[in-house]
Each structure stands twice: as C-alpha cells, then as structure tokens.
C-alpha cells in the first residue's frame, strides 16, 4: 500500500503553492501523531545573513567573502543567496551544486569549494575542527585549490510565530521533530528557540536520508523513538519542497510551501482535519494554488 498522501516533486511546483497528491490525506490529518519540520525556511525565515567572516591566516576577509559569493552565484540555496550578495564579478566556470553539501566552481581559474565541513572533507580538504563560536549559526567553509581559506557564519532567525506553532501542535498531542542537514549545534539552538525537545532533533541529515528518518518515525518499532506508542503512526512532514521532496513523499502527509505560511498551513490542517478543497479559502490567501499531483 502506498502511504503517500501529499507530495511536491519539483521546485517549480513548490513555488506555486501546495501540491496535493491524494485528497484523502487531509481527511486523515486529525490522526497525525508526529509532525516533522524542516529547519531552513520552515522554522526559520529562510533568509540567512552573513554574521561573521573568519579568514584563515594569510587570507583577507573581503577576499574570502568575494570568492565564496562568486562560487555561489549559480546556486538556488538560501545560504547561496546570502553569500552571492558579496560576489565580485569574477569569471565562474564549471559550477556544480551538491545537495546538502555545498558548491564547487572555478572562480577566475581557482577551484573553489563552499559548504559544510563534511562536504569539504569528502572533497579531500582538511578543515580545522574549531568552528566560530556560532551557536545557532550555520557555518560554511571556503576552500581554494584544496586549502581552507576561511569560514563564514550565517544566521537565520526563527519565524516570529514558530514557537507558538510548535506549542499548538504539542497541545494537539503531536510530537514535533526537527530535521536538518545543518550541524547539531545549530539545530539544537533552533530547536530550543522554538520549543522542540533535544531528543527530537535530527541534524546533519543528507537530503536523501531525510526520507529514511520519516520512514523510521512512521514505524517506531524499528526506528529511533519509543515515544507515541502504536505500531504505526501517521507522520506529517513540512518542508521547502525542493531538497525535501523525497521526505515529503515518504510521509503520510507532506506539506510544502515556499513562503512563511507553511507553518500556518500545517497548524490549520492539524486543528481541523478538513478536506483539502477548503484549505485555500481557509488560509485566506488568494495566491495559493492547490492541485492534484500525480507522480
């Protein structure tokens, strides 16, 4: 049996609103026991800004920022948007984005990598352990021709109503989890800020592994949590619909929106369990489009 109810397959689709794959999903929303929230853009605003640049010895701060910005010009990632603002207009060739990792590009002939510690290490770059004391901030590392040039910390605030939304979901009896590719210190800080318990935080999860975590939560007897009871629990996943498409599809109900209303949407369906055709009206937003989605 296919458990999937609602899913979003493409970034383009996500930009148009929520895509509904199976209308019966929303009839089951009142029995959702677990809500999994993506971090970037779901709990947080999704508009990170550079808060600190730490060049390695011998590197100039502005230079590190500029090459990182140039390397990120071709990426759609929220972190990339923040960094690309500092681009210097260098010639960029052979750009490559690695989902959940970072980017690689030739910037004025130099091989530049920007991304997580794990990504740079996979690419054979030695990254010093010491992070900036960036609790709650995302730290990306910059390497030029195989050598680290520095680190850049970016902060992305939780949405103003995120804490209240999590509290409301708890009042409804749901368990709320945080799922992110970011580091555990950043994930923990965000979780704490919005009231998600520390033992319900999954960090450093690659895009393709996010679906596995959702599957584990649906089947707690083989999975990672003993909370909640029951052999199978209905799981709702809320994400950006781009990186998270497999996880959204794995959940009983997947909800993707490209804007800040996604938490409102899950809250509303959690409260009412109403059928999907009513949702756009109830959200009071003429711009959302809802449609059937067939994989």
Contacting positions for ligand ADP (CB under 6 A): 38-40, 72, 75, 77, 79-80, 100-103, 114-116, 138, 140, 180-182, 207, 243
Output the residue with the shortest Cβ distance to ligand ADP.
181
Q: What torsion do the CA atoms of 118, 124, 125, 130 make, to the nearest 10 degrees?
A: 40
Find how far residue 187's CA is from the centre of its chain: 11
**What is the residue whose two structure tokens read 């109900």?**
253
Distance, C-alpha 235 to centroid of its chain: 17
Q: Is 221 exposed, middle or buried (0-12, 13-18, 19+ CB in 10 A)?
A: exposed
Q: Which does 254 bind (CB under 5 to 8 A by kind): ligand ADP, Mg ion, none?
A: none
Active-site choice (22, 38, 182, 244): 38
Q: Which is nearer to Mg ion, 203 or 243 (CB)?
A: 243
Binding-residue pattern over the window 205 to 244 for Mg ion, x denoting contact by CB under 5 A = -----------------------------------x--x-
Nearer to Mg ion, 40 or 186 (CB): 40
38 catalytically annotated:
yes
Q: Is 183 in the site for Mg ion (CB under 5 A)?
A: no
Going by DSSP bridges, is the β-strand pair 32-38/253-256 parallel, antiparallel, or unpaired? unpaired
203 touches Mg ion by CB under 5 A = no
User: Closest approach of Cβ 171 to Mg ion, in Å?
Assistant: 27
| Residue 40 touches Mg ion, criterion: CB under 5 A | yes
Give the Cα separation of 77 and 151 in Å (integer): 17
- Smallest separation, CB 110 to ligand ADP (Å): 17
**What minimum distance in Å lies between the beta carbon of 100 and Mg ion?**
8
Contact by Cβ (8 Å): 8, 22 = no
Q: Which two tokens stand for residue 270?
A: 């959690």
**Closest CB to Mg ion among 20 and 242?**
242
In whole angstroms, what is the distance from residue 127 CA to residue 88 CA?
A: 25
Using the structure block, give the residue that is written with the tokens 């990182």.
Answer: 68
- Residues marked active site are found at 38
């Amino acid at each position: 049996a296919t458990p999937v109810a609602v899913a979003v397959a493409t970034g383009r689709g996500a930009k148009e609103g929520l895509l509904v794959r199976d209308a019966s999903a929303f009839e089951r929303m009142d029995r959702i026991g677990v809500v999994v929230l993506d971090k970037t853009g779901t709990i947080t605003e999704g508009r990170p800004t550079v808060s600190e640049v730490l060049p390695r010895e011998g590197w100039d701060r502005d230079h590190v920022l500029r090459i990182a910005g140039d390397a990120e010009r071709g990426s759609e990632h929220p972190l990339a948007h923040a960094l690309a603002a500092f681009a210097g207009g260098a010639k960029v060739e052979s750009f490559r984005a690695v989902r959940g990792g970072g980017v690689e590009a030739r910037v004025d002939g130099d091989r530049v990598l920007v991304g997580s510690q794990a990504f740079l290490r996979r690419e054979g770059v030695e990254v010093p352990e010491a992070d900036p004391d960036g609790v709650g901030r995302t730290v990306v590392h910059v390497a030029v021709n195989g050598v680290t040039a520095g680190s850049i910390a970016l902060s992305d605030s939780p949405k103003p109503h995120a804490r209240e939304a999590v509290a409301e979901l708890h009042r409804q009896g749901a368990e709320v989890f945080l799922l992110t590719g970011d580091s555990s210190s950043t994930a923990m800080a965000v979780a704490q800020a919005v009231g998600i318990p520390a033992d319900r935080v999954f960090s450093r999860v690659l895009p393709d592994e996010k679906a596995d975590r959702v599957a584990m939560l649906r089947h707690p007897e083989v999975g990672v949590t003993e909370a909640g009871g029951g052999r199978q629990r209905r799981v709702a996943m809320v994400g950006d619909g781009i990186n998270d498409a497999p996880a959204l599809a794995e959940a009983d109900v997947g909800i993707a929106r490209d804007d800040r209303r996604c938490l409102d949407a899950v809250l509303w369906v959690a409260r009412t369990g109403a059928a999907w055709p009513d949702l756009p009206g109830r959200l009071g937003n003429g711009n959302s489009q809802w449609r059937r989605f067939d994989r």
